[in-house]
Structure formats: C-alpha cells, structure tokens
Structure 1
Amino acid sequence: MKKLLVVLISFLFLLGACNDSEATSENELQEEEANSDEVLTEEDTLEIEEKIEEKIEKSNEALPTDAIGRAEYRLDNQAFSKIGLKEQLESEEFSTEEATDAVNQISVDWKEQAILMAEGYLVDSSFSKIELIGQLEYEGFSNEEATYGVNELSVDWQEQAVLDAEVILKYNENYTRSSLINQLDFNGFSEEHANYAADEVGL
C-alpha cells in the first residue's frame, strides 16, 4: 500500500508540474511521502484517484482549442515532421483542412525538427546512420530533411554498432561472429564498424 501511495503522489506531482498555477510544491510532496507509512483505506485511495482525474481534466483544459495554437503547443513539447504534426492534429479531432492550414501557417524549421527527433531517438536506442535516416523518413521527413538532421549530429557510429551488437546478443546469445556481423550489416553499419563491434562484444 505504501508503494501505491508514493506512486500516486508522484503522479500527481508530475501532472501538477505541467501547470505552474496548480503545481504541488516539492516540500508538500516530501511531507506526503514521509507520511506514506500509514495504511491506505479504500476512502484514501478513492480520494487520490479523484485528485488525479481532476489534474488530468485541468491539464486537458489548458490545451489550446484552435489548430494553430495546438500545433505550436505540440512543437514546444516534441519534435515533429510537417506530415507528423498534421497527423497529430488530425488525431486530436481537427479536420484535415484545419490541420493542414495550421501546419502551413506556423513558422517552423523542419530541418531543425529533424535534428531534434534524431537526437531523441539516439537517447533511447542504437542506430546506424542509414537506419536513423530511414527512421526519420518513416516519421514523415523528406530524405533531404532526414539526411540533414542526421549529418548535423556528432555521433560515434562505431560505438552505435557496439551498442546495437549488445542489444542483439541480449535477446539472442546464439549469434556467431559471422551472423552478428551480417545482422549489423543488415542494420546499416559498415563492414569496419560491424567487425569492430564483434571484437568489442567478444566474438
């Protein structure tokens, strides 16, 4: 029960941080966590759930209701291609015409968005240069935008090959050196980088 209370309190804190006027102070969070040894009653749980729902509702109410405002809001929080942003607006129940007009009217450097998205992908996953360009194209960037975005990054592709090899072996330890190199080659790494990675993981 203690874990549940801490998780719920933390969730409330994160939601509140998105809206300064409703933010829960860090001191308040610490005080509530300090009291988390108390056993939660069903009434306590319901009260916390209600607070979470209220926070979610208020957060949704803060979203701009017009397509242009919503597009700018999304770009302040996440990288998008032009196509990706239009699709995002459509998923939020704006018409295709509204979404298209909004995306065309705002001033956006889509190449810069490609850089930001590429950086985001490299935080969580390993990619070859070719693979990352392909991923950006999948997200709706043109080949020119995707290539620019990846070329602007400072990336050790040899190290990316090592990271990719480690992930591959994590899920299948039966790879031989030859099969691992072939897989890395399929993932877009050069022969040199694939061989280096195989050396680094001990094959």
Structure 2
Amino acid sequence: MKKLLVSVSVAIAAAGLIGTAAPAQAAEHVTPRNVSTASYHAAKESVAQQNARRMAASYLKTMPFSRTGLIDQLEYEGFTTKLATYGVDKQHANWNYQAARMAKSYLRTMPFSRQGLIDQLEYEGFTTAQATYGVKKAGL
C-alpha cells in the first residue's frame, strides 16, 4: 500500500479550521481564546518555524502519522527538511499512540493479519517497536 500525502487544505478542512476567527480584544495582557499560550512563548521562533510547528500540530489533530511520515508530509507541503523536522519534533508526540491510532484506522477499513499490519505501519515510517505496540493496542 502506498503512502498518502495529503494537501494542507484537505487536512485543515477536515480539522474544521477553515473560517474566520473572532478579533482579539485590544486590552493589554489579554490572550485570545483561540490562540494557545504556546504561540506566545514561541516568540523566539521564526515565522517559518512557527508555521512548520503549527502545520505539524494540525496534521496530528486530524490523522495519525509516524515521525518520519509527518516530516515527509511537511516536506511535501514545501517545508525544508530542517523546518519539517523542527515542526514535528516540537510536537513531543507519543509515536506509540500514533501507531495505535493508525493501526485502528487501518483495521476499520480493511482486514490485516498481525504481521501484515506491522509491516504496513513500518512502511508508514513507524519503528518495529512502535508498529508492534500499535498493532497490539488495536487488538491483534
């Protein structure tokens, strides 16, 4: 099975992030509710780093990815390898959890043998340990 590289517009639409945000209040020290506190602490990040971090977060909210799969996806979206890696690593994602999400997702759409699903997850970029964990959590 081949990897699917998804366009950012599809992922953002699926995450329900398309639309207009309410304007922020003009008062000092007011944090808009739709902006995470992390973005305020990211002042030392370049705009490109912020974008890579935010896009990686958006993808992880929408669908499961392996670390390398998410880096590949961000590169597909036009980020350099360095920026894509930065954005992905800033997520501090639990890759075992992501493997379990992907395993469950595959099993909802098609049957797999235990080894076949491990192989598929490894193809998606998970380590053998992550893939095995994910398959076990999915019930195989």
Name the TM tier (shorter chain): 0.5 to 0.7
Other-structure match for 1:148 = 86
Other-structure match for 2:128 = 191
Higher RCO (Cα < 8 Å, 6 or more apart): 2
Q: Gaps (5+ residues) in structure 2? A: 1-18, 24-45
Question: Quick one: structure 1 residues 198 and 19, their matched pair in 2 at CA, closer, same or farther if it must change by over 3 Å?
Answer: closer
SS at match of 1:118: helix
Cα offset for 1:19?
7.9
Q: Highest Rg: 1 or 2?
A: 1
Q: Percent identity?
A: 37
SS at match of 2:132: helix
Residue-pair matches, total: 100
Cα offset for 1:18?
6.0
Q: Distance in 2 between matches of 1:127 and 1:198?
A: 14
Letter in 2 for 1:154: H
- Whose helix proportion is higher, 1 or 2? 1
TM-score normalized with structure 1 length: 0.47
CA RMSD, 1 decimal: 1.7
Alignment counterpart, residue 128 of structure 1, candidates 58, 63, 66: 66
Q: Deviations over 1:157-187 (max 9, x none)?
A: 0000000001101110x20001000000000
Q: Distance in 1 between matches of 2:84 and 2:61?
A: 17
Q: Deviations over 1:48-80 (max 9, x none)?
A: xxxxxxxxxxxxxxxxxxxxxxxxxxxxxxxxx
TM-score normalized with structure 2 length: 0.67
Over 2 Å off, 4+ runs = 17-20
Letter in 2 for 1:199: K
Alignment counterpart, residue 158 of structure 1, candidates 65, 80, 96: 96
